[in-house]
Chains A and B, each alone.
Chain A
Amino acid sequence: MSSSSSLVAMKKVVHQLRFEASINRVKVSQAAADLQQFCIQNATQDPLLTGVSSSTNPFRPQKVCSFL
C-alpha cells in the first residue's frame, strides 16, 4: 500500500535527522584556525606554492641529447 511505504519512508527520514542532529559541533573559529595551521605547516612542502626548479621538474619537456 502506498500509504504504508510513505510511513516507512518518513520514519527513515526522521531517524536520519535524529542521528544528524545529535553530533557535537566544533566552533567555526577553532575549525578555521586548524585549517589555517594545516595549510601553513605544509606550505613549504607544497611544490605548487614554492615552485618547481627546472632541474627537478619531472614534467619539463625532455632535453634532446645530440652528439657533438
Chain B
Amino acid sequence: MASEKAEIDALKKECDGLRTQIEAARKAVNDGSMTGASGGVASVGRVQLKLRKTLKGHLAKIYAMHWATDSKQMVSASQDGKLLVWDTHTGNKLVAVPLKSAWVMSVAFAPSGNLVASGGLDNICTVYNIKAASPKTLRELDAHTGYLSCCRFLSDSEILTASGDTTCCLWDLETGKQKVVFTNHIGDCMSLALSPDMNTFISGACDSLAKLWDVRDGTCKQTFSGHTSDINAIAFFHSGNAIITGSDDCACKMYDLRSDQEVINYQDTSLNAGVTSLALSSSGRLIFAGYDDFNCHIWDSLKGEKVGVLSGHDNRVSCTGVPEDGLGVCTGSWDSFLKLWN
C-alpha cells in the first residue's frame, strides 16, 4: 500500500513536471501575437449581410443543422421530433424524417447526400437512408452511455460521434459496431469537427478543453486549454492548421495546431452570452458565431475584432453553418426558424 502511494506521488510529480515543460515549450515559440502580426492586413470593414430567406416548418426549438456537400440541400433537427431536409434555393422541404426520440441534439448529412444521421438524449446515433421512397432507418448505433451531442460522417460507411459519456467514437456503418473509441476528456463531449484531410478530428468538451485526435489509431495528439467553461462549438480552419472554439465562457478562441497554443481570443465586454455554434466563411477570414443573446456575431478571424451581426431570431441561435461553396450562412434557432443570409 505504502509503496503504491509512493509510486502515485512520484507519478503526480512527473505530471506536474511535464505540464510545466509543455507550458515552457509553448512560451518558447510564442514570439509574437496574431493580432499584432495582422496590423498590416487590410480591414474587412463592416460586414452587413442581408436576410434572404426564413425557413418555416419546425414546430419546436431547432437544435442542429448541417449542409449537404452540394451546398443546396440542408438538414435541420428540432425537438418537435423531426428532421427536415430542405432545398435552400427554393425554400421547399424535400424530406421529413420522423424521429423515434424527439430529444435530438445533433444532425449530420453524409458527403454523398444519401444518408443523414441524428441523435440526442436517447444516447443513440440513428442513420437514415433518405434516398429511399420514404426515409428508412439504416442503423441504430447504440453503445454510448451518455447523450449524443454531435455526429459527422466520413463517408457512407463511417461516422464519428461525440457523447455526454465523455468519449467520441468512430463507427463502421456496415457492421453497426464501434471501430475506435476516443477516451481522454473528463467532461461531456459537446462538439466535433473533422480535419480537411480527414486524418484527424477535434473535439470540444465540458472540461473546457479541445483535443486533437488521430482518426485511425485513437490517440489524443494535442490538448488545448484556455477556456473557463464548456466548449460548445468547434471548427477547423480550412488550411487544417488551426482550430476555432466557442464556449459558455462567452469567448471564441483560435488555437494554432503547429504552435500548440491559443493565438487569438475573440471576446467583447458587451457580449455576456455563451457561444452555442460557429462556422467559418470559405477563406476563413470571417467567423460566424451563434450566441445565447439571440444573435450571430461576425468576427474578423485575423484581427480579433467584431465586424458585424446577424439579428433577427427571437430566441437563442443554436446552430450555424456555411455551405461548401461559401455562398451564404444558415442560422437555426430555438425560435423554430432557420434563416439564410448573404
Contact = CB atoms under 8 A, between A and B. Distances in A.
Interface of A: 3-4, 6-7, 10-11, 13-14, 16-21, 23, 25-36, 38-43, 45-49, 52, 57-62
Contacts of B238: 38, 42
Chain A at the B interface: mostly helix, strand, loop or mixed?
A: helix
Contacts of B25: 21, 25
Given A10-B8, A25-B259, A35-B242, A59 B89 contact: yes
A38 B284 contact: yes
A10 B283 contact: no
Interface in B192-223: 219-223
B342 A57 contact: yes
B22 to A, nearest CB: 5
Interface stretch (B44-52, B94-102, B115-123, B141-149): B44-52
B247 interface: no
B326 A46 contact: yes
Given A10-B8, A32-B32, A48-B328, A61 B37 contact: no
Interface stretch (B10-18, B159-167, B228-236): B10-18
Given A19-B219, A20-B222, A35-B237, A46 B281 contact: yes
Given A17-B22, A58-B327, A10 B15 contact: yes
Interface in B284-302: 284-286, 301-302
B21 interface: yes
A45 B324 CA distance: 12
A50 to B, nearest CB: 10
Interface in B1-37: 1, 4-5, 7-8, 11-12, 14-15, 18-19, 21-22, 25-26, 28-34, 37
Contacts of A39: 41, 283-285, 301-302
A7 B3 CA distance: 11
Interface of B: 1, 4-5, 7-8, 11-12, 14-15, 18-19, 21-22, 25-26, 28-34, 37-38, 41, 44, 47, 49, 52-53, 72, 88-91, 184, 219-223, 237-239, 241-242, 256, 258-261, 263, 281-286, 301-302, 322, 325-329, 340, 342
Contacts of A17: 14-15, 18-19, 22
A49 B281 contact: yes
B241 A31 contact: yes
B256 A59 contact: no
A17 B281 CA distance: 34
Contact of B260 (A25, A35, A46): A25
A25 B22 CA distance: 10
A14 B18 contact: yes
Contacts of A29: 31-32, 37
Given A25-B259, A27-B29, 4 more contacts: A30-B258, A32-B34, A57-B327, A62-B90
Q: Nearest 3 pairs between A and B by C-beta? A: A42-B283, A46-B283, A59-B52
Nearest to B14: A14
Nearest to B286: A48
B165 to A, nearest CB: 17
Given A7-B4, A20-B222, A31 B282 contact: no
Contacts of A57: 52, 327, 342
A30 B29 CA distance: 10
Contacts of B30: 28
A56 B1 CA distance: 73
